[in-house]
Structure 1
Amino acid sequence: MKTLNQLAAVSALLMCMLTVAAAQDVSGEKLVDTSQVSEVRPGVYVVEDRHQVLLVPNVTIIVGRDAALVVDTGLGPDSGRRVLSLARRLAGTKRLYLTTTHFHPEHGFGAQVFKGQATIIYNRSQWDELNKKGSAYRKLFSEQLGVAHALKDVEFVPPDIIYEREAQIDLGGRLVRLESVGPAHTLGDQVVSVPSEGVVILGDLFETNSFPIMPWFPQIQDTDVDPIRWRAIFRSVEQSAPTVVIPGHGRIGALADLQAAAEHLDFVSKEVSARCAAGQDLAAMQSELTPILKAQHPGWDLSNWIAGEIQVFHRRLCSTASTQ
């Protein structure tokens, strides 16, 4: 059972992470900039955020002979409309599909503008999680990150197709694989890949040159993040030896970037396990491990999430966590 001091510490950590993040960008718009498009493989286009604007994701559009798939929409309807317009320019009159890597607002809260314009596909766990947590995340983002305007007209529209574990979309001469892999970053994480092109899209399971975002928000009943499963997903993806790894945020990566992220998870897991066995408490771990991790990766972004990452590993790995 948590003490009042421990609850206050969790609350302080959440507010610190959100406040630091908000301070990075206070424009209030957070629109996907569709003028920045890279063709990473023939017919595979990425609208890159390059970590330049907070809460703007990478958006991928995969075009085949007969149809095109859009992966992620941006924060709200305005970004969704921009992405839909770009998809129409790239795909012409071809049929459109839409899917999202996970339910978080900056990745999928523009989906409503695709209703009737595209076939919307979700994995079941993502759709269930959106229904359970979507309203709380809309409130959190609106009140703590200053994006109320972007989210004010958001509606959660049902997908046209829901699959359980795995699905394939034939775009015409190009197969896209959808795989439900959570829980990890969220309960409903989805990995999207184009095996013939060596392309994998990981959403917020992977941020290039960045510490991982591990959401632990008991205030909105979201403590489902699972770093152990997260590492297993990396192991599975590594086996396919992708050559293009598209993150949720940041520059387009390669297999070596994914391996660096995996090695980081291994190191934190090992350190937290050893420190738990030695009887070290969470606060001491965060104090001692944070500068070590920063020194290991001095060029990585999102260092304000390190304390949260350590907390999540502590929760999952320490035998005493249930009493913390």
Structure 2
Amino acid sequence: MASSNGAKTEIVELARGVYARIHEGLTNAGIIVGDDSVLVIDSLRVPSFARGLRADVRRLTDKPVRYLVDTHGHWDHAFGNEEFTDATIVGHVNCRRELEEFGEAWRANVIARNNDWSEEIKTVRITPPDLTFDHRLELHFGGRRVDLVYLGRAHTSGDIFINLPDDGLLFTGDVAQDGGVPYMVDGYMHDWVETDTRLLDLPFERFVSGHGPIGAKPALVEARDFIAALVSNAEGAFRDGQDVPRATETVRGALGGRFGGWRGFERVGDGVARLRSQTG
């Protein structure tokens, strides 16, 4: 285990030539080493993080990076893209659109927070994917099949999943975590439940999410159930005439016994407020 940008990073080999780069408390990435090149999953939040990721790739292999795949457009996953312009950057059509439409607002939000990345993010060159797709893109890379799959809106409008069916592996981006509440401010709450259900039909046993530890398939059942329970209980509270703060307390009470120990449980109110904005 090494230290990167003040937090511990760990490279975990999941299958021959397939690695998870787990960045404690921050954003994870994936690395797939092929016969003559490398595919990277997510470029991280700022160029210095992306350079650290590329340095870890070089520690594994001297092969060049051929593809960078964006799981979605959020800044902490895609604002390092400028460090991969020598590769083909792949993402969903909505990932490209969101980076073009909302990228500057995301930058301004980070700057306003005055956190560790606020200065560096001022100079980021927002770089959307240059190869996009609608539903599915199948790559044959290093003798293995790599399926890039869009299953519908969830965490954003452009979330994709990277499925290695022959290895039983899945990269989920920020749609679902093992024991963690996702960021829901930009989510599509009703669609999210349906997308999570479709996700469970993919062939995998283990998964790597954008944040948190490597997980097994039962954790994604729990992730789907969390979103479904949040939506169901919040809608019930709204029907009872509760406003967002009161509905948030109702949902926390209903979900706390099962999910209260999850990372980020304090973000439940974000999902309630987002649902309210989408239901009128």
TM-score strictly above 0.5: yes
Partner of 1:25: none
Of 285, 288, 299, 2:261 maps to: 299
Of 111, 136, 139, 2:105 maps to: 136
Q: Is the 8 A contact 1:80 1:110 kept in 2?
A: yes
Partner of 1:259: 221
Aligned length: 277
For 1:315 and 1:232, how far apart are their aligned partners in 2? Answer: 19
Change (3 A) 1:237 1:32: farther
How big is the shift at 1:126?
A: 0.5
Q: Is the 8 A contact 1:75 1:150 kept in 2?
A: no
Could you tell me which amino acid in structure 1 is paired with residue 10 of structure 2? Q
Change (3 A) 1:33 1:212: closer
Partner of 2:36: 66
For 1:298 and 1:164, how far apart are their aligned partners in 2? Answer: 36
Higher strand fraction: Structure 1 or Structure 2? 2
Bigger relative contact order, structure 1 or 2 (CA pairs below 8 A, ≥6 apart): 1
For 1:32 and 1:103, how far apart are their aligned partners in 2? Answer: 24
Q: Is the 8 A contact 1:34 1:83 kept in 2?
A: no
How big is the shift at 1:143?
A: 1.5
Unaligned runs of 5+ in 2: none
Of 137, 152, 161, 1:167 maps to: 137
For 2:207 and 2:65, how far apart are their aligned partners in 1? Answer: 25
How big is the shift at 1:34?
A: 7.9
Q: How does 1:207-222 map to 2 (within 5 A)?
A: 207-216=177-186
Partner of 1:120: 89
Unaligned runs of 5+ in 1: 1-29, 217-224
Q: SS at the partner of 2:210?
A: strand
Q: Deviations over 1:299-322 (max 9, x none)?
A: 211122111112223334x5xx2x
Could you tell me which amino acid in structure 2 is paired with residue 280 of structure 1? Q
Change (3 A) 1:94 1:269: same
How high is the TM-score relative to the length of structure 2? 0.90
Q: Is the 8 A contact 1:169 1:175 kept in 2?
A: yes
Q: Is the 8 A contact 1:57 1:248 kept in 2?
A: yes
Q: How does 1:13-162 map to 2 (within 5 A)?
A: 31=5, 35-51=9-25, 56-94=26-64, 96-116=66-86, 118-146=87-115, 147-162=117-132
Larger radius of gyration: 1
Could you tell me which amino acid in structure 1 is paired with residue 5 of structure 2? L
Of 173, 179, 195, 1:203 maps to: 173
For 1:43 and 1:182, how far apart are their aligned partners in 2? Answer: 29
Percent identity of equivalent pairs: 26
Q: Is the 8 A contact 1:34 1:47 kept in 2?
A: no
Q: SS at the partner of 1:235?
A: helix
Q: SS at the partner of 2:123?
A: coil
Could you tell me which amino acid in structure 2 is paired with residue 57 of structure 1? T
Q: Deviations over 1:236-280 (max 9, x none)?
A: 121124211111100011111101111112222222232333333
Could you tell me which amino acid in structure 2 is paired with residue 110 of structure 1? G
